[in-house]
Structure 1
Amino acid sequence: MLTEAQLNQIPSPCYVMEAAKLAHNLSIFERVQNEAPVEVMLALKGFALFHSFPLMRSVLAGASASSLWEAQLAAEEFGKEVHVYAPAYRAQDLPAIVPLATHITFNSLTQYERFAPLLAQGQAKAGLRINPEYSPVQTALYNPCVPGSRLGVRAKQLGEKLPPGITGFLSHNLCESDSFALEKTLSQIEQLFGPWLEQIHWLNLGGGHLMTRQDYQVDHAIQVLQAFNQRHPHLRLILEPGSAIVWETGFLVSTVEDLIPTPDFTHVMLDVSFTAHMPDCLEMPYQPRIRGSHLPQTGDLCYRLGGSSCLAGDFLGDYAFAQPLQIGDRLIFEDMMHYTLVKTTMFNGVPHPAIGLWQIDNTFKLWREFTYQDYRSRMG
């Protein structure tokens, strides 16, 4: 827990990664890789803060990308294996992706057939994304296996033999899921795609494996992966978590700029925006934890948190605090590393939060601050 003096080292607003907590998470994935026949990649779609890559590189096998720009970032800044998958590749992008990638996965048979000749110009291994027709995800926005999904090839679309050159499968159907969802996924893959498993050399199980959540049964996951490996010892197994690697490894500092009382609650006007800086809170939706807050009880002063944009829905509620809030107070939103920085916008021209690292020696290192020129340059 940061003291007030330590917190004052940090500008507001600011995303802050905590080095000690990241090291703890990485130790879990290091154990999984040591005890199970699996390699773990960082999925840049969930977290792409390249300043932190030197802290991860010694543990993780590489990075996975969903676009040319992510592939470039992975190759330039991570420097190990680069796995690329996109729902649809643009013809002008793939020639630049091929020399960067170690693995390129296609979403459809037609995309693979169209671009297979290009792969001969590089060393990348080709794969197909499959649809296992199972996902535990309840929110349709995040469920890639909803009926009629555009993501992945179904078993009934494959012939007896895979297209020449296909060496692996990618299955991504989880989101912050447990080890039993992993077990069900592997069973589903064996049931639907069993006839083709002997024809491939690698199986990427995508992301959504929340191994760093406190209640995740890591031992069970290791046993599941070991058992699958015993049944299919020729397959290289890969995971590419996004949120799990940086789960609860950092926070977002904000400041109370105004307080507007109403008969039912008090609006807290902040220097951060939910729609611009924490969009998953509105999309998922979910209510983030705030350090020192609790759910309002009878008799509590109730606060509704308002973001700094003009969007009417840029707010979250409701919270209570041990002491009444004052203008100038700092609020700390917990667990704000994954799917925040990669999704932020500069809507309304609201200031983008700075980015920094809370180091193991309990000092703050500023990585980046944003200026008007950052906003202006996005427009031309």
Structure 2
Amino acid sequence: MSPLQLKTPYFLIDEHKLLRNLEIAKYLKELSGVKLLLALKCFATWGVFDIIKPYLDGTTSSGPFEVKLGYETFGGETHAYSVGYSEDDVRDITDICDKFIFNSQSQLKTYRHMVAGKASLGLRLNPGVSYAGQDLADPARQFSRLGVHADKIDPEVFTSLNGVMFHMNCENKDVDAFVALLNVISDKFGNYFDALDWVSLGGGVFFTWPGYNIEKLASALKAFGMHYDLQLYLEPGEAIITQTTDLVVTIVDIVENDMKTAIVDSCTEAHRLDTLIYNEPAFIKESTENGKHTYVIGSCSCLAGDQFCVANFEEPLEVGQRLHILDSAGYTMVKLNWFNGLRMPSVYCQRTNGYIQLLNAFDYQDFKRSLSQWSVN
């Protein structure tokens, strides 16, 4: 089947590009001794886990359903973390996770008796510093609820802990900035590490970015782990799936009000939510920086500000033309919703042999079931 035969909108995951990132991850593991866990909050399309599983050590989660998904479809180590567990959450997942990480000392105190002896106990710590481009995604922002700050730690909690987790990076492409954060962790928390078996340094380290100094990162991780005699974990999401997936759309109309807008059969509100939340424009494969024809690539939703980007093209766009919205894997498929009752993109994977595999497709009945399952008579 040719991609031109697929009905838009759809996501197309490229196995060859995914393997390129995974080989870099493998190299990092070999050099550093770190273990890598796929962050399901970023990417959870389990239909391609057969590609990823040979390279990573397991999964990490941000909620109970992600824990179950990782356990059932990925295997390896299953790490459970949540900003706030209910008692039912703890009961549901304790028997299927290897590491159980609490966000606060109060939750640890409340539930550790349910977890002890079943899973390795962890606690999230907040170093008070981070690398994040936007306040919304900054775990060290003012009044942060994410993890325990150094001056709030009760040292007694470490008598029952096996490990700790830090998450302090968001799309960090600067290895020197990451090393500086490691030094902060050492200064603030190093005296607690002798009592621990493992430390997770979270996600957001963009080690697959072109030009990233893998060797320097690996050296810093190895030295840190050896100094404290700890097993280190990283929790990559974007680093694994960056530049692997296009959202393919079709232009359904072109309108003009001082600037031409190409309206496509997709929308950021429902299909690429982070574009809207973080106000970061998408990139179009067919565009050129100095093209003579400028268009807003507009969504087909009713939200006035819902658009993908402004882009330039060498030739005028036409109704019926397809566009490829690049790098559309991370924090996209996990956030799909039915806003406006729009058609949900199908999900495909193009395998290295050229075969295009359908991973998921949605129809009206899926939309209807998402709103109600029973009527009141």
TM-score (norm: length of structure 2): 0.95
Partners in 2 of 1:160 and 1:369 — Cα distance?
A: 51
Task: Say which SS state the counterpart of residue 8 (structure 1) adopts.
Answer: helix
Match of 1:153 in 2: 148
* Structure 2, gaps ≥5 residues long: 373-377
CA-CA distance at 1:10 after TM superposition: 2.7
Partners in 1 of 2:363 and 2:198 — Cα distance?
A: 44
1:278, 1:344 within 8 Å by CA — same for their partners in 2?
A: yes
Within 5 Å, which residues of 2 pair with 1:246-265?
Answer: 246-262=241-257, 264-265=258-259
Post-superposition Cα deviations, 1:125-168, rounded to whole Å, max 9, x if no partner, equal 01110001111213001101012100000111123343432111
Match of 2:103 in 1: 107
2:348, 2:356 within 8 Å by CA — same for their partners in 1?
A: yes
**Structure in which a larger fraction of residues adopt helix:** 2
1:267, 1:304 within 8 Å by CA — same for their partners in 2?
A: yes
CA-CA distance at 1:248 after TM superposition: 0.5
1:140, 1:146 within 8 Å by CA — same for their partners in 2?
A: yes
CA-CA distance at 1:376 after TM superposition: 0.9
CA-CA distance at 1:270 after TM superposition: 0.6
Please point out which of 324, 335, 355 is paired with 1:332: 324
Match of 1:216 in 2: 212
Post-superposition Cα deviations, 1:214-247, rounded to whole Å, max 9, x if no partner, equal 0321111011112212322x20000011111001
Match of 1:238 in 2: 233
Partners in 1 of 2:308 and 2:371 — Cα distance?
A: 30
Q: What do you get for the CA RMSD once the two structures are aligned?
A: 1.4
Q: Does 1:377 align with 2:373?
A: no
Within 5 Å, which residues of 2 pair with 1:266-345?
Answer: 266-295=260-289, 300-345=292-337
CA-CA distance at 1:296 after TM superposition: 5.6
Post-superposition Cα deviations, 1:326-364, rounded to whole Å, max 9, x if no partner, equal 100000001111110011111111011000011112232
CA-CA distance at 1:63 after TM superposition: 0.5
Please point out which of 36, 45, 58 is paired with 1:40: 36
Within 5 Å, which residues of 2 pair with 1:42-57?
Answer: 42-57=38-53
Post-superposition Cα deviations, 1:275-329, rounded to whole Å, max 9, x if no partner, equal 11111111122112111203466xx222011112111111133111111111000
Within 5 Å, which residues of 2 pair with 1:50-129?
Answer: 50-120=46-116, 123-129=118-124
Task: Say which SS state the counterpart of residue 376 (structure 1) adopts.
Answer: helix
Moved more, 358-367 or 160-169: 160-169
Task: Say which SS state the counterpart of residue 7 (structure 2) adopts.
Answer: coil
Partners in 1 of 2:131 and 2:347 — Cα distance?
A: 33
Please point out which of 8, 11, 15 is paired with 2:11: 15
Change (3 A) 1:323 1:6: farther
Match of 2:375 in 1: none
Match of 2:175 in 1: 179
Instruction: Figure out how many residues of one structure are paired with residues of the other and give that number.
Output: 371
Task: Say which SS state the counterpart of residue 92 (structure 1) adopts.
Answer: helix
Post-superposition Cα deviations, 1:25-48, rounded to whole Å, max 9, x if no partner, equal 100011111111200000000000
Change (3 A) 1:103 1:231: same
Partners in 1 of 2:110 and 2:150 — Cα distance?
A: 20
Partners in 2 of 1:243 and 1:317 — Cα distance?
A: 21
Post-superposition Cα deviations, 1:181-218, rounded to whole Å, max 9, x if no partner, equal 32112111111111101111100000001111103211
Please point out which of 352, 356, 360 is paired with 1:360: 352
Please point out which of 131, 145, 165 is paired with 2:126: 131
Which residue identity is paired with 1:305? I
Match of 1:225 in 2: 221
Q: Does 1:140 align with 2:135?
A: yes
* Percent of aligned pairs with the same amino acid: 32
Which residue identity is paired with 1:125? S
TM-score (norm: length of structure 1): 0.95
* Structure 1, gaps ≥5 residues long: none
Partners in 2 of 1:86 and 1:294 — Cα distance?
A: 42
Partners in 2 of 1:38 and 1:53 — Cα distance?
A: 20
1:161, 1:196 within 8 Å by CA — same for their partners in 2?
A: no
1:174, 1:181 within 8 Å by CA — same for their partners in 2?
A: no
1:295, 1:320 within 8 Å by CA — same for their partners in 2?
A: yes
Which residue identity is paired with 1:151? L
Partners in 2 of 1:317 and 1:295 — Cα distance?
A: 13
Task: Say which SS state the counterpart of residue 144 (structure 1) adopts.
Answer: coil
Task: Say which SS state the counterpart of residue 213 (structure 1) adopts.
Answer: coil
Match of 2:339 in 1: 347
